[in-house]
Structure 1
């Protein structure tokens, strides 16, 4: 078979895979997708990214027609939009991605497709275009096949069903890398400038290379091409000019406090690469290993040293710039979103240093990627995935996770620190046997927790370990051996649980409100396989039963069910068991009110661990 035949075969299989993904997915607006969706709707209605009332009304009509939800659409102030100096409303995310989706929105309208899938179609087009541009480029066969495999078996494919610009940025960067190696310097700078419209830190990487180009141009007295590259790179300032004109600030995200240099930390920078909870290492560990080896080779061999060092520096400052964000552990698909646009930069560096072995590296990366998708499960950004849980079980000191991600994964709550305050509660990671293995806290918070908490048992070794590892007022991680501290139960006040027909009181209870339905449901907790006992404390005042209770394990349905009988100090207990394979099923204990002649009060619900 001729080598040229390989490219269309790869692209065909890639298209089939991507189409299967977007065909099987229920249309959902994820992340900041409400802004991108509304901006596309604005462009469709009046050719401008400005948000008008007609855009909100038409978006609502389409969401009802196609059965999808637009977050914050009913809020008085829509999240992500701010009033400009001339009284107009624009999103604090730039509109270039929404503009590129517009043709696909027109296609969706013409063929009667679900409106959200216009974003999916656009993302598929961007990825296929990137792989096709690489295949049709002027690079050698080895570089072409390497870039194609790296792009296909990389984090960008996870975001094809997101209403988000990660795939666009990913595709533009891979096309830019292809032109870099084929000598198309100006196109390389243009594509990186376009990518920076949505993810500004990538321009720091291309600017690092541009700086070396400028030094060489000065040395060789050949300025024309370099000055053109500088002008092209300057296009990256277009979003800043837009926001400066409308808001008097070049960066609306920073102005509103969602980005700050103080947020940069070693844990974030290191974690983007090596965090088992959200980093590149989850699926692209082979490529990261090659990256580390190539850094060493670049220093030792010194071939093309200036450009290779510029790439390393560019990757580092781009990661640091991304780490300034306020919400680091934002919604993600498999790995953190910021890693999506760092990945192509790493690929570029590896090929630059090791072009001779890039095919081997890309093949090894593809194999490891496919294997990892089979083994890494429980992919939810507020839960530890199976890889992280394995590390907590076996080697907790290797859990390289920043404290925001750690606390949100242990509390299973987005924005846990922001809403609760880090001083209010230590963050505890449990192994598969409910032993506490890692704690993030300081001494005052920990002492307060121990004095008040009844859901854990512990022995005398705990105080010794805490005194040894924890400074008084400084927050840090504590690592515990097994059987020192163990969770024995979970408990929630009635008012802590979601409700459809209830109202909470100051005593922490949830009261029926004279309407039939679920007074409480949730808490959607994921438990390890084992035996448990659920307890519902309540009062039911009336002539007969107030309703029923049940225990539900996700899609597996009802495990147990019973009546809520008339009682002034009622207590219902029910044992249940979760089997292997049910640890990813969110458990609910629901209370349903269906007797309008009675009054139901849910005081407390708890789950006791029996083994």
Structure 2
């Protein structure tokens, strides 16, 4: 008698549908990401020299110490301008006395040279790098593989969060439009860290804590402050379950699987610390040589979140607006309170992430529009919006479409400039309302000068110009001659108002500010010059022996007319001369406005009323005590005019 195998029970309809949804997600997402790779060349951006050399080293000899053969291997992959840096690095390899052969590299305790960034990102890229070498594909595309592989993993996490392939794909699209599109093709770990962090939030709060711990730990390998997420995840999960008592939330966090996930993330975080201790003798070589606690402050915190060139607001303008304006609709009070706690927790996380970032010396570092730190620091807020969408039975399609369009526009705008250029929003504000934008001095200096150099020069003035007109300028308080620094020798500034001080010593000037050559006309040229025209109340031109020619005032009042082509070009009237006995001051009236008494012998400039709209000055000088010099000269003299002009 033949024994038949036991019948296999068919999967439930729910399981079959879930399997089909996962298959659809995998296929669509894989095809989309592969297509993205196919149409874009790999780019070396960010800390490319470090990561590329570590990748080449790992692919060649299975370790991340940098050798001459590694430098030779990457020369053809890097831009020509990097040759001088690679030469310096190669030279430093041979000299054991050189501790830092090139910024970004440091000699370890074993005498070998290593990159100062941890190698996890490069180790992950080593296998595709080697494969591309063998298949004659540009090895630089290995970073596309690592970045998009994490985006794919994010898609799997969002599939668990939504249990819907279209919604999971929409979530991936929202991630890409919140900074992912800017950094997926960079040879630096920002895209990997952000995707892993967002996946960690999604998996932990949807009941997969071990996978969440793995993702958060992976993200923290290159950006250590992300490890703080592990302490916040249990509290965040409780906040998102409005009906759960606090005691039950604590019990849920202490179950074996959540604890195992948090422990796994903590172990991964500890790997770079152990590596740094073993290799350099400190837990973080970057913290030792490239950071300063004195740099932490409200200015940099504001800059990370709200700077109009590189702040987080540039990355997620519509996401933030939708979260704040729609994320609370239709909720009961208890649920709103819990959601408010979740938002406060996410704000605290984002600030905590940013504290180590604020210590770095090169604040205005390589960026694709949005600051690299601001990109992944935004993930807690993006997750909150995704969780709110998870709870919605029907998505607000019109609203969400608008958000996606605004985010797409934000990505397009951010992709058009680098860390040495002003972005379109910052440029617009500086053209129309410059007093509203006062960035960190390093940001303004490097973008105004068009070069990255975090040692801002106190001996020069930095300016943002439009058609030759300074719309905003910045200078150090110790600079003796701002006008010369801005405009060159022999010129002065016209217009502008002093604005906010940054860090106490950097002063902003808000334009428009024009550079103009001062106009100074002597009386012998009054009749031939069109700028200054002599009016009533003056005597004849005189030339005292060995002294400049001049002209005495005659009577109680003397008049001048000064005209120039450009309204607002000058802000001060300058009249110089010498007083006759008994006269020490003159009342100066400009275009009918009495400016008060002035000592014209001292040459003190007089402010021009309504200078911004004025191009002709009707000047009336009322003398204090005009008198006759003697019986043979009946003129009433007060001021011997030597020069008149504007500046």
Q: TM-score by structure 1 length?
A: 0.68
Q: Does 1:155 align with 2:179?
A: yes
Which residue is 2:436 aligned to?
A: 398
CA distance in 1, matches of 2:401, 2:30: 18
Q: Does 1:106 align with 2:136?
A: no
Task: Tell me whether 103-112 or 342-351 shows the greater mean CA deviation.
Answer: 342-351
Equivalent position SS for 1:116: helix
Q: Does 1:35 align with 2:50?
A: yes
Which residue is 2:635 aligned to?
A: none
Which residue is 1:389 aligned to?
A: 427
Q: Does 1:340 align with 2:375?
A: yes
The 3 A distance-change label for structure 1 pair 249 and 414 is: same
1:256-267 matches, within 5 Å, as 256=289, 258-267=290-299
Task: Give the CA deviation at 1:422.
Answer: 3.7
The 3 A distance-change label for structure 1 pair 148 and 160 is: closer
CA distance in 2, matches of 1:187, 1:40: 26
Asked if structure 2 preserves the Cα contact closer than 8 Å seen for 1:209 and 1:310, the reply is no
Which residue is 1:74 aligned to?
A: 87
CA distance in 2, matches of 1:323, 1:395: 27
Deviations 1:80-120 (A, max 9, x none): 22112222322110000011111211220221112222223
The 3 A distance-change label for structure 1 pair 326 and 295 is: farther
CA distance in 2, matches of 1:305, 1:377: 33
Provide structure 1 residue ranges, at least 5 long, that are not aligned to the other structure. Answer: 489-611
Q: Does 1:315 align with 2:350?
A: yes
The 3 A distance-change label for structure 1 pair 461 and 405 is: closer
Asked if structure 2 preserves the Cα contact closer than 8 Å seen for 1:267 and 1:402, the reply is yes
CA distance in 1, matches of 2:339, 2:82: 51
Please say which structure displays the higher CA radius of gyration.
2
Asked if structure 1 preserves the Cα contact closer than 8 Å seen for 2:440 and 2:502, the reply is no
Deviations 1:140-171 (A, max 9, x none): 67863552232232212222322111122122
Provide structure 2 residue ranges, at least 5 long, that are not aligned to the other structure. Answer: 1-17, 93-100, 239-245, 518-647
1:192-591 matches, within 5 Å, as 192-210=216-234, 219-220=250-251, 222-235=254-267, 236-256=269-289, 258-293=290-325, 301-303=336-338, 306-352=341-387, 355-356=390-391, 362-374=400-412, 378-399=416-437, 401-415=439-453, 417-418=454-455, 421-430=456-465, 432-445=466-479, 447-451=480-484, 454-455=487-488, 458=492, 462=496, 465-466=497-498, 469=499, 474-482=504-512, 484-486=513-515
CA distance in 2, matches of 1:94, 1:38: 12
Equivalent position SS for 2:474: strand
Aligned residues: 472
Asked if structure 2 preserves the Cα contact closer than 8 Å seen for 1:30 and 1:164, the reply is yes
CA distance in 1, matches of 2:502, 2:364: 27
Task: Give the CA deviation at 1:13.
Answer: 6.8
Asked if structure 2 preserves the Cα contact closer than 8 Å seen for 1:134 and 1:175, the reply is yes
RMSD: 3.7
Equivalent position SS for 1:57: helix
CA distance in 1, matches of 2:503, 2:164: 58
CA distance in 1, matches of 2:60, 2:405: 46
Task: Give the CA deviation at 1:433.
Answer: 3.6
Asked if structure 2 preserves the Cα contact closer than 8 Å seen for 1:147 and 1:174, the reply is no
Deviations 1:228-254 (A, max 9, x none): 244223221110111112222111001
The 3 A distance-change label for structure 1 pair 143 and 458 is: farther
CA distance in 2, matches of 1:68, 1:485: 37
Q: Does 1:44 align with 2:59?
A: yes
CA distance in 1, matches of 2:296, 2:187: 27
Which residue is 2:623 aligned to?
A: none
